[in-house]
Amino acid sequence: MSYTGPIPLTPEEQTLFDKIIFPPDDHDDWLANAAVVPRLMKLMLTRGAIPEHRLEYFNNPEYRTGRMKGSRRDIFERNGTKGLAIFEHANFLKYLRYFVLGVEMPEKVIDEFRHEVERVSPVSGGDMEDLIPLARRLIRGHRIEIHEASDNFFKLCLDCGVSLIWAAHLREAIKKMH
């Protein structure tokens, strides 16, 4: 599998996506987004536009770490937000952004890491001996916050076709950085 990157949108989806305010500044922005995001999600889900691993990131508890158990969707539902209302929630925007654009990191970081993953693909446990130091070097060199880096490299691994087990292994190794 090659790097996923941004997904192609239909003209209608692109028009809706362009209307979304990332991040919303105030209540009016939130209301405007709440009117657009569910329509965009419905269109993308209907045509299967969102890569499966990105949906799994949101829907599958195995793709999430933390004190609270369950998937990212489960957290919304546990807090009383269900169905299409999830897509209207301001906290959903970061997931929408990932669904459409992919991981949010400097292009140089994405390109260098992606190139190395493609070179060793399919990634195995032995390859992690090279990928972990590379990720750490990129994090330090680009001054990326470790908390953000651990999840972003996890998503980047998924976007590059790395299996869940090795993507999670890299995420945990990054979390242990000082």
Q: On the CB side of 8, how many CA atoms lie within 13 Å of its CA?
A: 2
Question: 120-135 burial, b if ≥16 CB within 10 A, otherwise e?
Answer: eeebeeebbeebbebb
Residue 126, φ and ψ in degrees, nearest 5: -65, -30
What confidence score (pLDDT) does residue 2 get?
72
pLDDT in tens, the chain (178 residues): 578 899 999 999 999 999 999 988 899 999 999 999 999 999 999 999 999 999 999 999 999 987 878 999 999 999 999 999 999 999 999 999 999 999 999 999 999 999 999 999 999 989 999 999 999 999 999 999 998 999 999 999 999 999 999 999 999 999 998 7
Lookup result for tokens 């809706």: 16
